[in-house]
Amino acid sequence: MAHTKKGPLGSGAAPRQACEMSAVTPLNCLLTALPDARRQGKGYRANCPNGHSKAKGSLSFVECADGAVLMHCFACGDTLGVLRTLGLTLADLYPRHLQTCHSRRSLRERRLHYRAVAWSSALTVAAYEASVVLSAAAAIAEGIRLSHEELLRVSVAAERLEDARGVMRG
């Protein structure tokens, strides 16, 4: 990966400049990982790296006022899968400066906040994917035979639930 993932965590006194703002913003991180990205309106469009047939220009992302990046693929909708392909995690969509700050106490507070945001995203994914599994189970209970595509979707759900677990383990 071109960007540096680790800040000066646990190294005692961080240089003062590092407290202001990390040079690597989530947007820069994504733009580095997606060299074909181009501006469109307020955000960007890129080819989805997730390996599906409608990948051309399907990945959309935009930087929010707080520096976080909202990302969505209009073809696969698989944000976690896209991130995994790029070697990133949900946490990389949130500003790094949350991890570099003056006192140890506020560092701990910011880490908790940052983790809470990542957990919240993971829970949203988990709740949605659980509903996919539930509807498949309901169909089976009704004696409906799932199609090959539906079975694949259930296995994607299992994969995303595993990803969400990974995010929550930190």
**Distance of closest approach, residue 157 Cβ to Zn ion, in angstroms:** 16
CA distance linking residue 143 with residue 103, whole number of Å: 60
Sign, CA torsion 147/151/157/163 = negative
Q: Name the minimum Å distance from CB 81 to Zn ion.
A: 7
Token pair listed for 116: 């809470």
Query: Considering the complex, what minimum distance in angstroms separates the CB of residue 73 from Zn ion?
Result: 3
Report the C-alpha gap between 68 and 98 in whole angstroms.
11
Using left for φ > 0, alpha for ψ between -120 and 50, and beta otherwise, residue 67 falls in: left
List of residues contacting Zn ion (CB under 5 A): 48, 50, 73, 75-76
Judged by beta carbon, residue 7 or residue 129, the one nearer Zn ion is 129
Nearer to Zn ion, 48 or 83 (CB): 48
Residue closer to Zn ion (CB basis): 14 or 75: 75
